[in-house]
Each structure stands twice: as structure tokens, then as C-alpha cells.
Amino acid sequence: MIMVNLGSDEIIKYPFLDEAGKYLSDKGFSLEDFATNADLNKIVENAFERIITAVDGRIYKSELASNNSSTNEIFSFLIAVILLKLTGMNTLTRRFSLAEARRAEKFLEKDLKNQQDPRNAKLSLQILQELFSVTIQKEDEYFIIPISDYLSHSVNFHEREWKLINRKVLHGQVQLTSHETVRLVRKELDRYIFSKINSSSSPQMIQGFEPYVTKLKSLAKKFEVKTVESTEYPPCVKHAIEVLEKGENLAHSGRFLLATFLLNKGQTVEQIAPLFKNAPDYNEKVTLYQLNQLSGTSGTTQYKCPSCEKVKSQDLCFPIPACDPIINPIQFGRKRV
């Protein structure tokens, strides 16, 4: 729980904080009131709009002006959550939490920059510290955070600019702009909002909410994704097979890649084992033991195919244009239809 006494302006910015739920109960409204009261019904419409905006990939605009609109705005978030729970379609909740995260991100960045206002500054630093365990200090126009805090978030990014080598690093700290600081927690912010929505209890259907829920359900169907997959192997796997076919030595990491790739594609240990027959140090017993370990038959873990980044770092990646959109060899040749 954030230990700052939040006013409605702060709750508007960060309606996913626990304080927002409290706000609803403090105002003394029940969910039924929103369906029956004409004034409150407008809020349900706003909530619906808020979801539609998010689903369209846009960010819901805030009105921080009047007292009345701030109440509407907080409620529209809370009612949107209720509508999503009633709809029960994960794809909508995912899009909604991402858009809400992007929205909050903007406020967070502004508050972080605006260190003259101690209340906002404290809140933004506290959100980053308490929700995402990032300790931040301001240094000139930059923000510095401990490398270990930085890494625990940045490792989830695939863009090379987030690699530690591409950051200004000094005395155990990483230097970031306010934009980068907030960008660092985007995924977690999204995940945080998503899990808050997911873990909140599902209400019974409320009369008056039904038409919105029906519309949302049909909207969600549009996002069902079908994929087709080609049977061609990615170049890194082809390379590994070629090396073995030539009887050359394939590094342990290459063998791991080949075996986990094929196992994940559904091949059996018996189907894969003969591939290693040409290896200079081939030993049938050892090969079968290791394949069984990787497949999880002898242990408890089934090993996953290493990521493209890992494969690249092991000098086993030979990318072709078809590799551009993938982050794991297993995704090679997968297309949406």
C-alpha cells in the first residue's frame, strides 16, 4: 500500500492503486446504482469507451479539471474493470491493462520530472520503489538507479539499447532519463494492472451492464489469432545439423540448442539421438542420458529451447530475413493467418 495520502487527482492518474477502490466505497455507491441512476449510467458508458479506446491501441485522455469529472474518471476505470470481469475475455483485459499502463506511464514520467512539486515527486518515486523495487536518485537532470535494480527489469527487453553495455554505467549505478526510467517498468506496470484486475473478484451480472458486456464479447472474438507453422528449421538449427553431419565437433551449447529445439517441436529422444552419431566424441549411452535429461524424462524439468539472444551470444546464430520477427528459434516459420 502506497503510504501517501492520495487526493483524487493522484487517484485519477494511478487508478489501479488500492486507494482507488477505497474511493468508491467512501463515496457510498453500489454497483447497482450505476445501472439504475441515469447520472451514474453515463459513467458506465465512459467505462465502455475507456475499454474500446484501449482495445483500439489508444490511450484514454484524462480530464483533471473539475471535481465532478475527476469522480467520473476514477469510477470509469473501476467500472471498466467490472465490465472486463463480466466479459471474462483475457484478450480485452490484456489490451486494457497495457493501455492503462501506457497512460499511467505518462503521468509517472511527468511527476518524476516535476521534482519541484514534492508531493508528486514523492509519489512517483514511491510507486517505482514499492511496486517495482527500483530505488531511484535524482542526479542533475538524470536519474540513477542501482545496476542490479536496472537489470532485473531490463533483461525482459529485447531491444539492444537496453543492454547494460549500451547504458551509461558508473560506480554501480545506471544513468537514465525520466522517460527511460518509466519505460523500464512499463511491462511490470502492465503486468501489475493485469494481475490486479485478474485477482479481483467477479461480480454477478448486473442489469444494465448486459448490452455492454455483449458488445465486448463480440469485439473480443475479432482478436482470436490463428497461426500456421512451416516445417522448415531455422538456420541456427540447420547449421548445427550440418556440423554434426560433417562429423565436426559441435559445441555443447550447439548440441543443447539442437536437442531442445527438436524436443520442443515434439520429436522423441529416440528420433533425435541418431543425429549425434557422427560427433567425434559420440557415446550412445551418454547421448541418451543427456537427451533424457533435457526432455524431462529422467528429471523433473523439461528444458526449453534457448532464446535467439542466447544463441547469438554463443556465436551459433546465422540470421536470415525470416528470423527478423522471432525471439526464439522455436517461433521460426510461424505465421498468423
Partner 1 sequence: MNVKDVMLLEDTFKKFYFEHFELLHVPENPELREFGFQKFNGGMNRHITLKSDKELHLLLMQNKPSDVYCSNACYRFPNLPMTEKDWLNGDLIFDIDAKDLRKTHPVKNSVIKCSDCNQISNLSGSCPNCQSTKLAVITLTCSDCIKSTKDEVKKLIQILTDDLGINPQSIEIFFSGNEGFHIYAPKSKYQEIGSKERAEISDYIMFRGAIPETFGFKRFNSNKSTLPKFEDDGWNGKLAKQLYGTKSNRSKSLQEVISGGYGLFQKRLEQFRDTIGIKIDPNVTNDIHRIFRLPGSINSKSGLTKIFVDDLEKFDPYTDACYIDDEKINVKVNCPITFTLKNKKFGPYKNEIVSLPKFAAIYLICKGIASTT
Q: Give me the DSSP letters along 298-336.
A: SSSPPPPPPPHHHHHHTT-----GGGTT-SSGGGTTEEE
Q: How far is CA 1 from the centre of its chain?
A: 22
* Neighbour count for residue 34 (Cβ, 10 Å): 22
Nearest approach in angstroms of CB 256 to partner 1 is: 11
* Among the listed residues 26, 141, 160, 201, the single contact to partner 1 using CB under 8 A: 160
Stretch that binds partner 1, among 113-121, 143-151, 227-235, 326-334 (CB under 8 A): 143-151
By the rule CB under 8 A, 327 interacts with partner 1: no
- Please report whether residue 173 would count as binding partner 1 according to CB under 8 A: yes
Q: Which is nearer to partner 1, 78 or 134 (CB)?
A: 134
Burial class (CB in 10 A: 0-12, 13-18, 19+), 327: exposed
Q: Does 93 bind partner 1 (CB under 8 A)?
A: no
- 10-49 positions binding partner 1, by CB under 8 A: none
Q: Residues 274, 313, 327, 334: which binds partner 1 (CB under 8 A)? A: 313
State the number of CA atoms in the 13 A half-sphere of 268 facing the CB.
2
Scanning 16-24, 96-104, 230-238, 296-304 for contacts with partner 1 by CB under 8 A, the matching segment is 296-304
Residues 6+ apart with CB under 8 A from 321: none
Considering the rule CB under 8 A, would residue 161 count as an interface residue with partner 1? yes
Nearer to partner 1, 206 or 263 (CB): 263
Beta bridge partners of residue 100, listed in sequence order: none
Cα separation of 59 and 71, whole Å?
19
141 contributes a contact to partner 1 by CB under 8 A: no
In the block, residue with C-alpha cell 528429471: 299
Question: How far apart are the C-alpha atoms of 50 and 80, rounded to whole Å?
Answer: 7
The CA distance from 100 to 125, in Å, is 19
**What is the distance between the alpha carbons of residues 98 and 92, in angstroms, rounded to a whole number?**
10
Among 301, 324, 336, 337, binds partner 1 (CB under 8 A): 301
User: Which among 24-32, 99-107, 112-120, 154-162 is the span making contact with partner 1, rule CB under 8 A?
Assistant: 154-162
From the list 8, 152, 177, 292, which residue makes contact with partner 1 (rule: CB under 8 A)? 152
Residue 148 touching partner 1 (CB under 8 A): yes
Residues that bind partner 1 (CB under 8 A): 146-148, 151-152, 154-155, 160-161, 163-173, 280, 299-301, 310, 313
